[in-house]
Chains A and B, each alone.
Chain A
Amino acid sequence: MKQPLYLLAGALAFFCHAQALAQSKPDGKSLFAKNCAACHQADGRGIPGAFPALVASPVVTGAPPDAAEVLLKGRGGMPAFSGSLDDVEIAEVLTYARASWGNRAAPISGAEIEARRTALGVAPPNRSRFGNKH
């Protein structure tokens, strides 16, 4: 009786592991929904007077190092994403925005983000949480 249970547990563990792996693969669209859409909206049009549109945005569709810098360091009211997204994730989400809603800019690679992160002296992602402010 013990053996089949073991096997079942093993199979389950493998299945869960495979699922976790599948989930951990960064996907530009879901990263965008999670990190960007709350302000810039799912259609990339933003909210006039509050959140800039990403559609036809010169920053989004411009030179990769400049686009990378906005996410790595933040800009205006937008916080930096360098602490929570790694270089591949930043590349994925930028690539998604650069090729959506009519935008037609070339993809950006994780290596390009990494190079910009190093050049700007921005610390690697650190996903720690715990606090109680104000």
Chain B
Amino acid sequence: MNRSTASLTRRDFLYRAAAVGGSALLLNTMNAWGMGIASKVTAPPALSGSGKGKKVVVLGAGVAGLSAAFELRKLGYEVQVLEARSYAGGRCQTARKGFSLQELGGEAQHCRFDHSHYINHGPWRIPLDHQSTLYYTRLFDVPLEVMVNENDHAFVYLEDGGPLSKQRLRGAQIKADMRGHVAELLAKTVQGRQLDARLSADDQMLLLDYLRREGALESGDLAYKGRNGRGYAVNPGAGLAPGAGTPSDPLAFHDLLAARVGKVYSAVQDFPMHATMFQPVGGMDAIPRAFAKRLGGAIRYNAEVQRIRQDAGKVTLDVRDAVSGKLSSVQADYCLCTVPLSVLRMIDTDFSDGMKAAIKAVPYAPVGKIGLQMKRRFWEEDDHIYGGHVLTDLKGINTISLPSSGWQQKKGVLLGYYNYSLDAIEVSALTPQERIEFALAAGEKIFPGYRSHYESAFSVAWHRVKYSLGGWAEWNDAARQNAYPKLLEGEGRVLLAGEHLSYLTGWQAGAIESSWQQIERLHRRASA
């Protein structure tokens, strides 16, 4: 590469691209770099023209199918949604009293939580970055509340944490102490003149000033001796006792290193897990309910699609009524299929071999969750943890998450495990009763009395749920390269949409934004 190319800045390049190719080339270039308007989807596409006189059948009343149907109807299309379940939402489900689920090969579970208690066993959080999901919650007046996704007062409990194994650490202790020790090390390195070759004398002074503040170092000897942000041994209060309180001692640098506490940063530090995180008041299914209310009779429930055929003029879907067993057939000009690929691969279609292979190329994530109703909110009352996640390496548990609603009430439903891949498979082999025992045995290592407070449970293993067969699409590089473009293109009069056709897999925003993109493609095809 010669010098002039290497020194060409993005801005220079964009300026030249605009000069040569006009604004279209400019926008395409920006989009290709992931810095353009396409990466900030905050509203459905503004489409011109009309779909009047044309019928679209949408397969699946999950979040993808619902948002597509809602937008297509606005364009004038006649829309019918075929949903195999008796309710809308797809994987967006909330288990509360009266909700039932029977996994394939499993026994039926009936949720018996007390009134107003629930678990979102599907999607459970809405990041601030997901403006597409937030577009609909705002439009439909779905009330939101903050979901406490990061809480450094919650415990970190490591089975395999070297010298810190099997202790109830607080996230804040780990972070404050690691920061303090590392700041001390760096400050002393500066003071020992070991960074003279890298930093000017002025910058060294500025860095020392920064490290004293960031690491709470003693100003004289630059030692870290703890900071009150990690918590007191005895909190300050009134009078002489507790009076000024008793500071706590930091964890030793070596112990923290040997415990490999860096792994706590793999949890909720990255995009899009940062604050602010939301949840709908009363359960995530408020979102599909809001859609379903507006779509009314356009959704046909208990409609299990068994066969998809298309010719030059139409798409024909053979449907079995899941309740009566009655067979019927539905015709439309176009079909938008939002059925998960794990399920679509089992449906009889006349897709080309290449398309069928692409559908089969995408693995789905085994995922499991369990909600446990506790008769006392011991995590709040005894341990002063209000929402957030207890992070743990206990096998098959991953996180114990505390509810972000119902503060200081008597009871609460917590998430007892949230496992993926092979852990999820192992736990899913257990009966509902054995899963409860598994969750309680782990939880009581961290919270004494966990078991004695337990009242009832509801668990799910998404890979065993009919019509879902997995938590979300788990793409690999080869499938992204080969299958993804093919699936995005669809075939003839059938287009696909869903979280699986996004880079936001497993998120409702992925489902919505994929639908927004695919209805634009469908509308273009229908208008051609």
Interface residues of A (CB under 8 A from B): 33-35, 37-39, 41, 47, 49-51, 74, 76-79, 81, 83-84, 129-134
- Using Cβ atoms and an 8 Å threshold, which residues of chain B touch A129? 393, 395, 398, 423
Max count, chain A CB within 10 A of own CB: residue among B105, B463, B469, B470? B105
Max count, chain B CB within 10 A of own CB: residue among A39, A51, A132? A132
**Is B425 a contact partner of A79 (Cβ separation < 8 A)?**
yes
Q: In residues 349-372 of chain B, which contact A (Cβ within 8 Å)?
A: 360, 363-366
Given contacts A35-B425, A49-B346, 15 further A-B contacts (CB under 8 A): A34-B426, A38-B105, A38-B428, A50-B104, A77-B469, A77-B470, A83-B421, A84-B422, A129-B393, A129-B398, A131-B267, A132-B266, A132-B391, A133-B420, A134-B472
Q: Is B129 an interface residue (CB 8 A)?
A: no
Interface range on chain B: under 10, 10 to 19, 20 to 34, or 35 or more? Answer: 35 or more
Q: Is B399 an interface residue (CB 8 A)?
A: yes
**Is B474 a contact partner of A79 (Cβ separation < 8 A)?**
yes
Q: Is B345 an interface residue (CB 8 A)?
A: yes
**Is A77 a contact partner of B463 (Cβ separation < 8 A)?**
yes
User: Min CB distance, A27 to chain B, in Å?
Assistant: 15
Nearest neighbor of A83 in chain B, beta-carbon distance: B422
- Using Cβ atoms and an 8 Å threshold, which residues of chain A touch B469? 50, 77
Bound complex: CA A39 to CA B424 (Å): 12
**Is A38 a contact partner of B398 (Cβ separation < 8 A)?**
no
Bound complex: CA A50 to CA B84 (Å): 15
- Using Cβ atoms and an 8 Å threshold, which residues of chain B touch A37? 429
**Is B393 a contact partner of A130 (Cβ separation < 8 A)?**
yes
- Known contacts A34-B429, A77-B363, A41 near B105 by CB under 8 Å: yes
Bound complex: CA A83 to CA B506 (Å): 22
- Using Cβ atoms and an 8 Å threshold, which residues of chain B touch A49? 346
Task: Give the number of A-B contacts (CB < 8 Å).
Answer: 89
User: Min CB distance, A41 to chain B, in Å?
Assistant: 5
Bound complex: CA A50 to CA B474 (Å): 17
**Is B364 a contact partner of A77 (Cβ separation < 8 A)?**
yes
Q: Is B507 an interface residue (CB 8 A)?
A: yes
Interface residues of chain A: helix, strand, loop or mixed (majority): loop
- Known contacts A76-B360, A79-B422, A79-B474, A130 near B266 by CB under 8 Å: yes
User: Min CB distance, B124 to chain A, in Å?
Assistant: 8
- Using Cβ atoms and an 8 Å threshold, which residues of chain B touch A132? 266-268, 273, 389, 391, 398-399, 418
**Is A39 a contact partner of B463 (Cβ separation < 8 A)?**
yes
Bound complex: CA A77 to CA B104 (Å): 15
User: Min CB distance, B521 to chain A, in Å?
Assistant: 26
- Using Cβ atoms and an 8 Å threshold, which residues of chain A touch B399? 132
Contact partner of A79 among B123, B263, B365, B389, CB < 8 A?
Answer: B365
User: Min CB distance, B198 to chain A, in Å?
Assistant: 34
Contact partner of A81 among B268, B398, B422, CB < 8 A?
Answer: B422
**Is B466 a contact partner of A50 (Cβ separation < 8 A)?**
yes
- Using Cβ atoms and an 8 Å threshold, which residues of chain A touch B345? 76-77
Bound complex: CA A50 to CA B104 (Å): 8
Contact partner of A131 among B266, B422, B428, B507, CB < 8 A?
Answer: B266
Bound complex: CA A133 to CA B125 (Å): 10
User: Min CB distance, B344 to chain A, in Å?
Assistant: 11
Bound complex: CA A36 to CA B100 (Å): 25
Q: Is B217 an interface residue (CB 8 A)?
A: no
- Using Cβ atoms and an 8 Å threshold, which residues of chain A touch B428? 38-39
Nearest neighbor of B366 in chain A, beta-carbon distance: A79
Q: Is B464 an interface residue (CB 8 A)?
A: yes
Q: Is B342 an interface residue (CB 8 A)?
A: yes
List 4 A-B pairs, minimum CB-CB distance, nearest first: A134-B506, A38-B429, A38-B428, A132-B267
Q: Is B461 an interface residue (CB 8 A)?
A: yes
